[in-house]
Amino acid sequence: MAYVDVYFKNQRTSSVPLKEAESRIGRKPENEIALPDLTVSRLHGAIHFVADGRYRTVENYSSKNPILLNGRPLRKAEILFDGDRIGVGAYVLLYHENRKSA
């Protein structure tokens, strides 16, 4: 199962498993990836599971503070690869394809 490690000010704060269809990113607590900081929009973006099940994409919804993918502004939905860094306001989400075995 794919997941993101959430970092705030270079400190890992959580690890969030991604839902099958869509994981919403934003400041509102009902988002699957809730980031409680004013640098984040209420609904900032989302990570989508593409129908054929082979990959996920990240999409930006914020016009004021766009999501960064590996340091560059996200202009359209893009495919995610293991290890990609998703910048959302003051947060960084580190994308992982599969959870590591314990």
The candidate with the shortest Cα–Cα distance to 102, out of 13, 15, 8, 7, is: 15
Number of structural domains the chain divides into:
1
DSSP, residue by residue, 32-95? SEE--STTS-TT-EEEEE-TTSS-EEEEE--SSS--EETTEE--S-EE--TT-EEEETTEEEEE
In-domain check, residue 73 = yes
How many other CB atoms are found less than 10 A from the CB of residue 82? 10
In the predicted model, what is the mean pLDDT of residues 85-97? Answer: 97
Domain membership of residue 8 as a residue range: 3-96
Residue 61 pLDDT more than 60?
yes
Helix, strand or coil, per DSSP, at residue 20: coil
Which of 28-37, 40-49, 76-85, 91-100 shows the lowest mean pLDDT across its residues? 91-100
Q: Is position 30 within any domain?
A: yes
More confident residue, 29 or 100: 29
Residue 102 domain flag: no
Q: Is residue 101 part of a domain?
A: no
Query: Measured between alpha carbons, how far is 2 from 39 in angstroms, rounded to an integer?
Result: 25
CATH (domain of 44)? 2.60.200.20
The pLDDT, as a whole number, for residue 99 is: 61
Look at residue 53 in the predicted model and tell me its pLDDT. 67
> Under a CB-based contact definition with an 8 Å cutoff, are residues 4 and 16 in contact?
yes
